[in-house]
Structure 1
Amino acid sequence: MDCSMTSSILSANYNTILFEFGVILVSSKVLYALLRKVYQPRVFSDLLLGIILAQFRVLSLTNAINLVFGKIGGFVFAPYLFALGVEMDPTTLLDAPTGDSVVAYAGILSTCVLVTLFHMPLMQATSGVVHERSLRSFLGLAAVLANTASPVLTRLTTDLKIAKTAVGRLAVGAGLASDMLTTMLIAVGSMIWRDTGVDGRESNDSPIVQPVLTAAVLVVVIVSAFVSRAMAEWVGSRNPEGRRMRGFDLSLVALAAAALCWLSSALRLNVNMAAFLVGLAFPSEGRVSRLLVSKTNFVLSSFVLPLYVAHVCLSLRQTTDDIEVAGLTRDDGFRAYVMELPFPWWKVFFVTVMGTLGKLTGCAAAGLLRGLGMLEALALGMLLNVKGYFHLYCAQAAFDAGIITDKSFMAIIFMVALNVAVTPMVGMGIASWARRSVQWRLMGLQHHDPSTELRLVVGLHGPQDVPTLSYIMEALRWGGGAGGGGELAVYAVDMVQMTDQTAAAIVKGGGFDGVTVVDEEVSEMRKLIGEALDAYQAECGGGAKVKVRRLLALSSFPDMHSDMCICAEDAMAALVLLPFHKAQRADGSMEPGHHGFRVVNQKVLQLAPCSVGVVVDRGLGGKHAAAVVSGSSSQQSQTQAAAAVVVVFIGGADDREALTLASLMSKHPGVRLTALRVVQNATAQARARARTSLFESKGSRRGGGGGGGMMGAPASSALGQEEAQMQVDDKFFAEFYRKHVAGSKQPGAAVAAIGYLEKHVADGAELVAVLRGMQADYRLFIVGRGRDRSSVLTEGLDEWAECLELGPVGDILASSDFSTTASVLIVQQYDAKKHYKVIDEEFMPL
């Protein structure tokens, strides 16, 4: 009868139900997009939407929605807990406790102690938070309050850019350990009390049945470990690295996991807990596991979980007895909402304080022992207290089992929402605490001490960027000391866009990132980048002279520049190298490129705490790169295969930085450098004098009136700055010429020979003509961006510029109609007026 009624309701209203499902999903995405700007995780937007739907009764068929999820709600969380189990490695429980584990265990222990001390007011049949006084309710409450929502915490640390800090890395590791241990305790409890009814009484099975069923479940879990590893190896052999995984093979693994979960549930174990235990038995490493986690989490976060949270909030209903106690009418009583009753503020407060104090006490104490400051230790405890979807599931399960009352159910939901809303504020506090003032120093190549280690931050869109950037890195390394003895520290940052799919594949990672992405495409890309960097490091003499540290910039494009700038600050880098957002096609033209990467480059150029170089690659990472990187070939063979490089000097701070970079590269025998100085001819000098006279006449006319002399100050100031800049340029280039050009011609000179060209031009058109005449002779053009350059030689060039962030000359060199073989490096010197502060010494020294 019940099944036929359900079928009739669904068949009669399925169009409306699908429409309401669509409304919930779209509203959830829109709300998350808005709240994400204030770093709120997805679970908060889902909860907020569910509370709004429950409070204002926005949807008309809430009964039908609850009917649908009432039938499938018991199975919704099985994929979530399975993916959670796959991310975890239970063998770590057998190893010696690490720092992460100690923090997690301390938080769990302190929470359990607080629950024990205050269990009397918590467990009252009518007024308490828990409806029954039993061992299972006591242990369940302690485990749930001690649990950390590790998926929410991992995503939160990524969004807040704190995953690379000491507190962030410790929080991610401890959160995963806490989540694993407490969820395992809940799963074990579900095996022990698998047949406990709503009234709290045990089943009538014989005493031997429970141990037999528990042993059978453990056997299934052990079998799952062998089956899953065998299937992973079999699928891996059918789908080698570099090939896309066959959907049929992945479906077989998922079906096998579902069958194992069903077998455990057939032994009267809760299907969700069975899924978690089977997930724990699966190998946490490997391509198959990564794909299962990423695909499952993507589907859950995009479609299933928003609907499930809406169902949980819409199921906040009162029984008839409670409605009468509240003084409400009995008419249609089962449709009354919990929110129509007096709100249980004290329960929300009590549960929130209980969980928070428990985490703060234990985790903060462990953090202090780990060497954290008091504020950082307290922030660590607050981060590990974050709640999520699993807590909503536990509240729903406890309510259905009669362990908690409906008021307590509502109180827990609001407690989770409040907890999740506050935690990002703690993360932002960590980000500010991690940044402390140190003695400021100039960051750039012009002010770099050649006897010290040269540090670079290199952004990578993919493995195709490694050869060209390796060419530049290796050439710069030779400028670190006499005879190529300089040391180079490279922070290679994989720039990965944050999408719903990559967000669903974020898990705890090793090293300084704290998190990583297990999405197949991202993992394959990072693997290829790693292999190319390892090959470069091996060819240039291993880690003695070149140290490469891999980092991950996982952000949306509007925020990715923050990752790059933070990496440059932490590393005290002298230069950030970024690939151009356009790539060369097979016919030699430049493709439009990805606008998101262009936004990143623009913001890094604006906000970077050091000098920046943008690389336009036109095949520089070919045989010339191999000749430069290879350290085994003779100097003669390197010289014969040397790449011709030209640095263009017009004037300004950026051109001075470009000239410094070129002089460092010139020390490598595989680089043949030519310095091109562009100077004004007689026509250009006349135009410059006319422009100066015009400014002076405007200034004198404006200053002619009494007291109006100050109006002429901007013009005279600009002229004075231009003259001072020209003097600095002349002095700097004269020193460069004396040391590198004239000095290299002396007998027995220790410096590399540098060619010198001087071109006299009248305007921008002649400058472009000069550059076009040289495009076939050089493999790399190095030019300054020219932000502060005020020269008649570049006037008007930016009017037709397509990429203004490259500067007028850089835009011409990067255009499709300039060259098909000459790569370009556009350099911007760090602006000393931007006073940045270096942070977090844990990133250095390398």
Structure 2
Amino acid sequence: MSQNNNNTTTPAVQNKLNAAEAKTHCSLISSSIAASLGIFFLNIAVILFSCRLVHAFLRRLGQHRLVSDFSIGLLIGNSSLLRSTIEEYVIASFANIGTLGFCLYLFVLGLEMDPNSIRRWSGPANKIAYAGIISTVAVAVVSYTLVNHTAPQLGMNHNYGIICAIAVGLSSTSSPIITRLITELKMNKSEIGRLAVRAGIANDMLCTFLLCAGVALHPLFSADKRGIRAGSRGLLNAFIIAIQAVFITKIINPFLILKLNDRNPDRKPIRSLDMAALCIVSVFLCFSSILYGFRPSFNSFFVGLCLPRDGRLSNILISRCNFILTTIMLPIYIVFVCLSSNYKPLIWPHIESDTVFILVIVGSIGAVGKLTGTVAYSIHHGVQWPEAVALGLLLNIKGHFHIFCAHKAAMAGIIDANTMTVMGLVAVGTVIPMPLVVGFLRRRMAAREMRSPMGLQWCETGREVKIVVGLHGPEDVPMAVNVMEAMRVQGGGGGGLVAIVVEMVQMTDKAAASMVHGEGLETVTVTDEGIVDMREQIGFALEAYGQESGDGVTVRRFLAVSAFDDMHQDICSAARESMAALVVLPFHCRQRVDGEMDSGHPGHRIINQKVLQGSPCSVGILVNRSLGRGPVSSFSVAGSNNICAVFIGGGDDREALAYATRMARHPGVRLTVLRFVEAAAAVKAKPWGPGRRILPSTGRRELEQSADEEFFAGFYDRYVAGGKGVGYIEKQVRSGEDTMAALKGVEAHYQLFVLGSGKDRLSSLTAGMSEWAEFPELGPVGDVMASSDFSVSASVMVIQQHRVARRYNVIDEDFLPY
């Protein structure tokens, strides 16, 4: 009886035992989940740290982050020891993170693009992009057909739908990677760099659109036994996407997104509820495609294209998404792809010849196809063939999206694992040599700068002219607009004008604290309220000029935030990278209301002096008295602006005459050339006319005089004797006093005087004028004309020709061939 009592437990005791057992089981489950989460986050931390560490080293070599992420993935995926440290559930979580990451990637990619640019066929960038796509698709289709018939054992047999998809993928360009490379390697201000970025964006947008549309319509073309049902699904996808685009553009954008942007203007804190509302709406639109069976990753691209690119909320959303992608999601996904792929057939000693052969074929098809169309049209556009080849290689860059498409196609059974491995290697292989290509372009630019002097005198007639215009604030915009308008050639003849407007802002503690580093061509922005207001006023004025009479003028704006001692480096860099022929800067002294010139800003004078010393091209300093009182140009066809070009002699005066010649083609300009000659030489016959001869001479002064006579004779024959409406006056003077008296006598007849600096000129016509110079950087004549005693209404443009001798560090210019 006692034994039975010992073996029998009461219900209360049993409940306590069950509760203890359940508690122990829950604690074991909790500890297991905690351990699993710990391992999961530890793996992520190690992968991200390794990718960042490798990128810190490879970045010094100019490599993109994709190369470092792929290197870490190869190391982990092909090392048995490292691979064993990652659990299977961690790899499955990486797959989910990658899928979500590419929804975000394609959404941001579409949001950064302008879909209207697809319809604009004009422009070299779009045409170069389209030529590369067409040639790559054609080469890919022909090559794959030949390979399938001649070497079927390679396992590349696909239907033409898959071949076309692969061809479009090979013709696509990764615009985020090419933009980042061009920006980090400091090619974003050069013409070839900007052309590559624009062509890459147009190429990427069109190819990504075709691939996403192909995925949506894939059931329509792959209908098998289910025929009608599968085809109707493709039509349903296309129909719903079209309805979604109309819904976003006609309802969401005007009634929600635009109102949210208006509620969050610049210089005010972002409203958290508005930002959350934008994120919720974007997520709902992207993932709504799950309801009708379309992949949300590809649908995200269409949603991004439909949402507005402009607006403060959109810009902040893009920057935040890009930060999350580059630091967390994309590195994890690349590592996951490498873990899912088998790269041993391409690694010694497991190399398989068939895999290597496929790799060579796929890589060659993409490179040959892209180079064929890009180089052909680039040369037709006027790009030299070395730059055209380099441009084709830049546009052959592949990226994350290509790896994502290859992996998804392999998971869906459309392509085999071998082809996926090859596509991943091809994508990374196109990125690795790109720093060498960009370095080649930089060396070509430097060599071209050394070979050819940069100035208006050497610009060919009918070719595009580039100038750099510096602004200190909105008050300088009328000056800049009049300079651009006067150099614009109307009617489409004589080449276009590209004006690079550099807005100069002094670096202060407040400006430095408001600087935001971003991506793209405009890598730095400033959020300071005063600077933002200044830029808005300048932008409105330039837009008003462009809408009214800006045909033939392309305006590019750059913001330079530096100390006054270093500001000249930004201006010279902009002129060098854009291959500009002239830099125009405002004079540091300004005219007061009473007509007198003030003492000026010493920092602005330092900028002008240093630019004159180190500029890679000619420099013009404009003393503005009455040249433009409003934001719109005063140079018009109906009006008449009298301009006087002063010619005494020397390289600076020849450059000033070349500048005046450009202005003389404007129908609103009436040019008169005032030439000063020594009275003792006036009895001689004029050298400009039929049968003129230029006698050979040996001294530097004689060479300068010979160059003056030849240049002026060509100008006289073409514009004065040729009946182009250019006036000519010759003054015989004996000293500097006579020269200034003659200029003072005609001062009231002209709104603008154009003359050369002539600081190095040795002439009796300017003798004694530089002894009491207040502004020696303007030269002897320019110094006197910039003073208040000369005029209260006539502006003065003083031009210094690019010094070729300074470039070669010539000690004695007598040994420099002219």
User: TM-score range, shorter-chain basis?
Assistant: 0.5 to 0.7
- 1:393, distance to aligned residue in structure 2 (A): 1.9
Say if 1:785 and 1:807, in contact at 8 Å, map to a contact too: yes
Distance in 2 (CA, whole Å) between partners of 1:646 and 1:241 is 53
Aligned to 1:458: 467
- 1:305, distance to aligned residue in structure 2 (A): 2.8
Aligned with residue 275 of structure 1, among 296, 300, 313: 300
Q: Describe how 1:689-700 pairs up with structure 2 within 5 A.
A: none
SS at match of 2:499: strand
Q: Does 1:829 align with 2:801?
A: yes
Q: Does 1:413 align with 2:424?
A: yes
Residue 8 to residue 529, structure 1, CA distance change in 2 (3 Å)? farther
Aligned with residue 548 of structure 1, among 547, 552, 559: 552
1:416 is matched by which residue type in structure 2? A
Q: Deviations over 1:725-776 (max 9, x none)?
A: 78679989999xx99xxxxxxxxx9658999996579xxxxx9xxxxxxx9x
Aligned with residue 305 of structure 1, among 326, 347, 353: 326
Task: Give the TM-score normalised by structure 2.
Answer: 0.59
- 1:287, distance to aligned residue in structure 2 (A): 3.0
Aligned to 1:360: 368
Q: Does 1:614 align with 2:620?
A: yes
Q: Deviations over 1:362-387 (max 9, x none)?
A: 87379869995997998787555431
Say if 2:487 and 2:663, in contact at 8 Å, map to a contact too: yes
| Residue segments in structure 1 that go unaligned for 5+ positions in a row | 195-200, 327-337, 507-518, 538-546, 570-574, 680-719, 740-748, 762-766, 768-774, 837-846
Residue 829 to residue 566, structure 1, CA distance change in 2 (3 Å)? same
Aligned to 1:261: 286
- 1:179, distance to aligned residue in structure 2 (A): 3.4
SS at match of 2:432: helix
Distance in 1 (CA, whole Å) between partners of 2:478 and 2:243 is 47
SS at match of 1:276: helix
Distance in 2 (CA, whole Å) between partners of 1:627 and 1:756 is 36
Q: Describe how 1:596-615 pairs up with structure 2 within 5 A.
A: 605-606=615-616, 608=617, 612-615=618-621
Q: Does 1:347 align with 2:347?
A: no
Aligned to 1:184: 213
Q: Describe how 1:203-214 pairs up with structure 2 within 5 A.
A: 211=232
Say if 1:615 and 1:825, in contact at 8 Å, map to a contact too: yes
1:529 is matched by which residue type in structure 2? L
Q: Describe how 1:300-449 pairs up with structure 2 within 5 A.
A: 300-305=321-326, 307-315=328-336, 342=350, 347=355, 349-357=357-365, 360-361=368-369, 364=372, 385-398=396-409, 411-422=422-433
- 1:74, distance to aligned residue in structure 2 (A): 1.6
- 1:228, distance to aligned residue in structure 2 (A): 3.4
- 1:550, distance to aligned residue in structure 2 (A): 0.9
Residue 553 to residue 596, structure 1, CA distance change in 2 (3 Å)? farther
SS at match of 1:623: coil
- 1:17, distance to aligned residue in structure 2 (A): 6.1
SS at match of 1:287: coil
Q: Does 1:228 align with 2:237?
A: no
Distance in 1 (CA, whole Å) between partners of 2:429 and 2:94 is 25
2:801 is matched by which residue type in structure 1? Q
Q: Does 1:501 align with 2:525?
A: no
SS at match of 1:503: coil
Distance in 2 (CA, whole Å) between partners of 1:473 and 1:755 is 34
- 1:471, distance to aligned residue in structure 2 (A): 3.2
- 1:390, distance to aligned residue in structure 2 (A): 0.4
Residue 488 to residue 173, structure 1, CA distance change in 2 (3 Å)? same
| Residue segments in structure 2 that go unaligned for 5+ positions in a row | 1-27, 504-514, 524-531, 561-567, 593-597, 679-697, 718-725, 741-746, 809-818
Say if 1:553 and 1:560, in contact at 8 Å, map to a contact too: no
Residue 50 to residue 163, structure 1, CA distance change in 2 (3 Å)? farther
Residue 757 to residue 784, structure 1, CA distance change in 2 (3 Å)? same
- 1:83, distance to aligned residue in structure 2 (A): 3.2
- 1:432, distance to aligned residue in structure 2 (A): 10
Say if 1:583 and 1:590, in contact at 8 Å, map to a contact too: yes
Q: Deviations over 1:492-522 (max 9, x none)?
A: 333579996351789xxxxxxxxxxxx9999
- 1:409, distance to aligned residue in structure 2 (A): 5.5
1:388 is matched by which residue type in structure 2? G
Residue 663 to residue 433, structure 1, CA distance change in 2 (3 Å)? closer
Residue 224 to residue 751, structure 1, CA distance change in 2 (3 Å)? same
SS at match of 2:398: coil
Distance in 2 (CA, whole Å) between partners of 1:399 and 1:241 is 46
Residue 59 to residue 472, structure 1, CA distance change in 2 (3 Å)? farther
- 1:530, distance to aligned residue in structure 2 (A): 3.5
Q: Deviations over 1:242-284 (max 9, x none)?
A: 964985567644432221112113444332122123334x16x
Say if 1:150 and 1:179, in contact at 8 Å, map to a contact too: no
Identical-pair percentage: 20
Distance in 2 (CA, whole Å) between partners of 1:299 and 1:591 is 41
- 1:491, distance to aligned residue in structure 2 (A): 0.9
Distance in 1 (CA, whole Å) between partners of 2:155 and 2:29 is 34
Report how many aligned residue pairs link the two structures: 689
Task: Give the TM-score normalised by structure 1.
Answer: 0.57
Say if 2:588 and 2:600, in contact at 8 Å, map to a contact too: no
Say if 1:654 and 1:784, in contact at 8 Å, map to a contact too: yes
Aligned with residue 498 of structure 2, among 481, 489, 492: 492
Say if 1:672 and 1:754, in contact at 8 Å, map to a contact too: no
SS at match of 1:387: coil
Aligned to 2:544: 531
1:458 is matched by which residue type in structure 2? I
Segment of structure 1 superposing worse, 720-729 or 176-185 = 720-729
Residue 829 to residue 219, structure 1, CA distance change in 2 (3 Å)? same
Q: Deviations over 1:217-250 (max 9, x none)?
A: 8425513432233332334467579964985567
SS at match of 2:601: coil
Q: Deviations over 1:94-132 (max 9, x none)?
A: 9999886565245335424544554699999xx9689xx
1:347 is matched by which residue type in structure 2? T
Q: Describe how 1:666-685 pairs up with structure 2 within 5 A.
A: none
CA-based RMSD of the aligned residues comes to 7.3
1:654 is matched by which residue type in structure 2? D
- 1:468, distance to aligned residue in structure 2 (A): 0.6
Say if 1:100 and 1:177, in contact at 8 Å, map to a contact too: no
2:301 is matched by which residue type in structure 1? F
Distance in 2 (CA, whole Å) between partners of 1:241 and 1:566 is 39
Aligned to 1:287: 310
- 1:391, distance to aligned residue in structure 2 (A): 1.5
Aligned to 1:215: 236
Distance in 2 (CA, whole Å) between partners of 1:53 and 1:811 is 70
Distance in 2 (CA, whole Å) between partners of 1:41 and 1:319 is 22
2:544 is matched by which residue type in structure 1? E
Aligned with residue 652 of structure 2, among 651, 654, 679: 654
Aligned to 1:108: 137
Aligned to 1:688: none
Distance in 2 (CA, whole Å) between partners of 1:363 and 1:52 is 32
Q: Deviations over 1:607-627 (max 9, x none)?
A: x4xxx2334576765439979
Say if 1:386 and 1:420, in contact at 8 Å, map to a contact too: yes
Distance in 2 (CA, whole Å) between partners of 1:117 and 1:568 is 46
